[in-house]
Structure 1
Amino acid sequence: MIFPRPARLALVALLLASIVWPAAPAHAFLDRILPGTDTKDEFDGRFIDTLTPGAWKPPLEAAMQEAAEKSSTSSATFSFGGGGDASGSTEQKVEAKDVSQPEFEQISGMTMLRMDERGIVALPVLDAYLAGIARRLLEHSPIRGAPIMIYVTASERYGEAKALPDGTIAIPMASILQADSEDELAALLAHEISHVLRGHHDLDWFEQRQGNLVSGAELMLGLASGLAQQIGKGNEMAAKAARILIVAEAAMTATSKGLFPSWTREHEDEADLLGLDLLIAAGYNYDGMFALMQKMEEAELVEASKPDPYQEVRKALEEEIQLQTSQGNIGGALGNVLQAATLEFSTALDRASVDHRSATDRLESIRDYFDREYADEIPPAMTSLPLEQVRKSKEFMEFAEAYRDASTALDLAEKGDLPAAEKAARSAVSGPYNNHAWTRYAFYKVRLEQGHRDRAMQNLELALNDPYVPLSVYKDLEQLNRKAGSMDSAARVLASAWEEFQRPAALYPPLIHHHLRKGEKARAQELAIECAFKNREVAKICRTAAEGRDPDMARTQNWLQALR
């Protein structure tokens, strides 16, 4: 059907308005519903005094036990296949629950850190220094025995520190390089240690996993129904799929009842307050916390000034809408409008999901708390000498130089200056860190931009010598081998990473592809089912891989295409 030109122009205007309009109201609405209570106003006195003294206990264990008890008493059933037979027996529920348990508990913090493409920096002098700061902070904690393990990552983002469920704490190399005093580093560590003491990331991590289970259940309802029609209800794999769906249903029920509510912004506020308490109790200068937050504020401003990553997507959608409307393809135009609206609302949700307030708001809150509780505190002098001694040590200076060269190589390669990028990359691997994952990964990227796939592969193979080699090295090495037609080599790389990283979500698509290549369709479909419960975004790629499409093509598609 072809519309008259005036009607087409009016429709285009309406469609384009529908793209632009949802963003502001969505952001405003989400801003209104965000938590507004300042944690410091919810109690009198110092936050550290509200803690119950005693031994540290991982709250995940209690949460898991409660979830298991609730799921085992669920009366819901799921009819798999066309016969209407209930497959929600107590035996199946218990079996499914036991099968799913390793998903939550057995991935170590170290393994989770190695899923970062930049890897871990192993410098004994730095590790010992940070461990000493942590011991000093923990001496004044009413909660004893927290299994704190500190690692430095090769991250270039100042505020990219994190605490993980088992007490593992990651400090970015950027924080070490940019800190002006030990007090500032101690403030960063105190904040992350506070998360571990309070068990925030144990619960947050479980909630995230639970959320993936719920999304997986939603995705799998359609997939399981289609699978049932293909293989029949008597098939062993069909029974396993039904058991998995029972677990998902239990997780969805638990979520709907608010079993694991998430107050991550409150958690960040608590870590700020407890971190300041620990910092001052340990004899550090409280200005270290204020300096930390000011640098976080500056980092946020830098991030905010970066170009909108969806700008090109929005532009492409607008052009596609105009083209389809001019051709009378109203259905296609409306589909793109829906995608554009989804993009805007998703952006708003991303903004709402930030797990802490802005650094500006946090700094103001910490200052208010300090004025209330520590106004008469006389601070010791700032401590900078120990940090400088570490940074002037030979091993630190050697790594810092290689680290900077690798980062420079990547920047130059991105700008298209490949000769200069190669020079920087060669410098990065010329010293004692020639086989460090970060330096070799940077050289690999440069070689890839130069079109030298064989040399790119050699750099990834050398990166495997790093004892903390990140997952990205395995992923890219598997991909290069597969593209080169070395399918057996690709399969071996994949098998090594699959075991070493405990079945990570990112490896499901290529693994599904390899099983399909060998004619093992049932195993590929089974992995697609598992994948749906790992990660909601990867699940989309797994579905396309299970349909026989190249996993790299699926991975590189933007998320709008993946939704079609």
Structure 2
Amino acid sequence: MRHSMILAAVAIALGTAPTIDAAPKKKRAAAPAKVAAAPAEPVVASLPDAPYVPLTGCPVPPAGSLAAVKKVDKKARGKFSIDKAPFISTLDAGDLCVSGNKMRSGAGDTAGSMGLSAQVMNTRSARMDLVDIPAFERELRPVLEAFGKAWPYAPLERTPKLLFRADEAYQAQALPDNTIVVSMGLLEAAQSDSEVLFVLAHEYSHLLLGHFAKAETIAGARGATQAVSVAWSAGSAFTAMKRSGGNVSLATMQSGMDAGARRAAPVAEALRFAVDDIFATSWNRDQENEADALAVDLLIRSNMTIDSYANVFERLQKAFEAQKASYDKRKAAADAAQASMGEAMKGFATSNVAGFAATGGAGMQGFGSGLLKTAGGALVSNLGNITRSMGGDTHLPPEERRKGLAAYFQAGYPTADPPIDTGALIGRIKGKPEFARTVAMRNAYMKARASYFAQDYAGASAQLRALGAGSRTAPTFVNYVAGLAARDQGNVAQAGSFFQAARTGSGVQNLQLYESYTEMEIGAGDMSDSNALIAEGKARFKDPDHFKSIEIKRDIAAGDMAGAQLVYNACMAVKGRDYITERCKAAMPQAAQQPSNPLGFKLPFGG
């Protein structure tokens, strides 16, 4: 009954579908190797990355090339913190060069964009549900290039890569690896070019202003990364419990721990996706206001469509309201998933762990037995702050934001006359065949994902196959969720075929795919495939430290405790990346030697 309530809560927050509890299947001994290269299939060519821009010296705007600075009326701007306009005329070229150099060449925990993007959890590879749509990027990249030409200071190292997210959110976000992610919900809801152009200019401004090089941003990025990583680790714990329970012959354990873990596993996956839905860089209020002001500057200086004064700010306020409502909805869904996960962990802490102790752990020799014994009590005390640690919407409330920007515009550009917004850009995007196809795919995918969360594995699989699951041309996330559904039915061979299609396909590569695929192979006892996936993941994502916890799990599963200890020791030596060491403690709780918290989670942001 407890698990039915948990799954119902998640289904309400993330979509509904009937519940089916499928029996696990054994992996066939003769299953083909899944890490071999698959035959090539035709793919749609991605837009090549923009060329690298070498930075020579420290660019300074020519004298007289920027508009004179004027004060913004304090009463008119309200809580908007920018008191001089144009903001672009108040910037210090030297400071921007320092930030720009950090973002280009920084390294280590105190670096800016490049330092953060060297940590794979802060890149597009760690975000879910991304798709590359060249037809849309061809329309929007020239907009970013125009902004770049209007920027008179140190340029970005290259025009950002544009990717699109298969969700309904009204948002876009900049990432430290020079990527801007635009949600399909924003393009679908936009009724004017002004909305899309302002959002792009705002995210581009965060990059131009070097916000990723700021200490508070780095700290916020670290906290968000830790939250995502702990949500992933919670999912790994359930997967491990499910596998360990499957190795136990005692009927009481088979019907208790194993069945409970199978029912709760989709809750853990729902939490992973929900946390990713609210993942955003932790800008502070002043940084958001700076990006708003510079967005206006870039639009005016590039003579970009923005509309008449009366229309544009009315439209922008509606856009701000849509953005806030979208965030609030996604945050509520994430909180519901987190609460459901907490209930699941309480259930294991109060009942199943006791059952494990009564058996003396007989037969628990496989991967995850340590997690099985301790996950309930340890995780439940640390889950409470995951979504809270992601931060919130730090923009001003919509009315205050519109009011401040209107006052800013009046002060800085009293005679500005930008082109009228005819909606031509968003009209072209929505008129492309790719738009209708992507929206339909997004809608079907979200229904399939909801079916999976509600344990309708057969329904989810059928829906995902209709979207091309199993094909290397399907979006990575379609194959990924199809693999999860097959895995949680116990069909490891079929899950491997979906994961393999995702790994070798033409979609945006995803770090979580590699983690889930590798952990499944470890649980199935396939050390050859596990080793190959770990090696490829380290090479592909260029962040070997991130894979240390999985290497520990592999060594433990192989009975190589000495090897696991060596990796654990190396992991404890990683500096400035707390989530890495916490994941290793979770993978080898016996080495962590923390009786009060045997799973090893000790989050710096609370609890």
Relative to the length of structure 2, the TM-score reads 0.59
CA contact (8 A) 1:183 1:284 kept: yes
Q: SS at 1:469's partner residue? A: coil
Which whole-Å CA distance do the structure 2 matches of 1:350 and 1:437 have between them? 28
Aligned length: 432
Alpha-carbon distance change, 427 to 292 in structure 1, aligned in 2, over 3 angstroms: same
Match of 1:526 among 569, 584, 593: 569
Query: Is the counterpart of residue 45 in structure 1 residue 85 in structure 2?
Result: yes
Alpha-carbon distance change, 301 to 49 in structure 1, aligned in 2, over 3 angstroms: same
Match of 1:386 among 399, 415, 425: 425
Report the alpha carbon displacement of residue 203 of structure 1 after superposing the two structures with TM. 2.7
Q: Which amino acid aligns with 1:539?
A: T
Q: SS at 1:143's partner residue? A: coil
Give per-residue Cα distances to partners, 1:173-207, cap 9 Å, x unaligned: 33233322332211111001111111012335873
Report the alpha carbon displacement of residue 561 of structure 1 after superposing the two structures with TM. 11
**Corresponding residue number in structure 2 for 1:270:** 290
Q: Counterparts in 2 of 1:88-487, with a 5 A limit?
A: 104=115, 107=118, 112-119=123-130, 121-143=131-153, 145-146=155-156, 147-156=158-167, 158-165=169-176, 167-203=178-214, 207-208=218-219, 264-281=284-301, 282-285=303-306, 286-287=312-313, 289-303=316-330, 305-306=332-333, 308-309=336-337, 311=339, 346=385, 350=389, 355-359=394-398, 361-374=400-413, 380-429=419-468, 434-467=473-506, 468-487=508-527
Report the alpha carbon displacement of residue 455 of structure 1 after superposing the two structures with TM. 1.3
Aligned identity (percent) is 18
Alpha-carbon distance change, 320 to 209 in structure 1, aligned in 2, over 3 angstroms: closer
Query: Is the counterpart of residue 491 in structure 1 residue 531 in structure 2?
Result: yes
Report the alpha carbon displacement of residue 452 of structure 1 after superposing the two structures with TM. 2.8
Which whole-Å CA distance do the structure 1 matches of 2:342 and 2:220 have between them? 31
Report the alpha carbon displacement of residue 477 of structure 1 after superposing the two structures with TM. 0.8
Q: SS at 1:114's partner residue? A: helix
Structure with greater proportional helix content: 1
CA contact (8 A) 1:505 1:534 kept: no
Alpha-carbon distance change, 129 to 158 in structure 1, aligned in 2, over 3 angstroms: same
Q: SS at 1:460's partner residue? A: helix
Q: Which amino acid aligns with 1:272?
A: D
CA RMSD of aligned residues (A): 4.8
Relative to the length of structure 1, the TM-score reads 0.63
Match of 2:581 among 526, 539, 558: 539
Give per-residue Cα distances to partners, 1:344-397, cap 9 Å, x unaligned: 7x5897386765445554344334434544566556432323333333333444
Which whole-Å CA distance do the structure 2 matches of 1:493 and 1:460 have between them? 11
Report the alpha carbon displacement of residue 493 of structure 1 after superposing the two structures with TM. 0.4
Report the alpha carbon displacement of residue 144 of structure 1 after superposing the two structures with TM. 5.2
Which whole-Å CA distance do the structure 1 matches of 2:84 and 2:394 have between them? 25
Report the alpha carbon displacement of residue 157 of structure 1 after superposing the two structures with TM. 5.3
Which whole-Å CA distance do the structure 2 matches of 1:131 and 1:172 have between them? 16
Alpha-carbon distance change, 59 to 441 in structure 1, aligned in 2, over 3 angstroms: same
Give per-residue Cα distances to partners, 1:228-276, cap 9 Å, x unaligned: xxxxxxxxxxxxxxxxxxxxxxxxxxxxxxxxxx973211110011112
Q: SS at 2:163's partner residue? A: strand
Say which structure, 1 or 2, has more relative contact order (CA 8 Å, 6+ apart).
Answer: 2
Which whole-Å CA distance do the structure 2 matches of 1:472 and 1:190 have between them? 30
Q: Which amino acid aligns with 1:499?
A: A
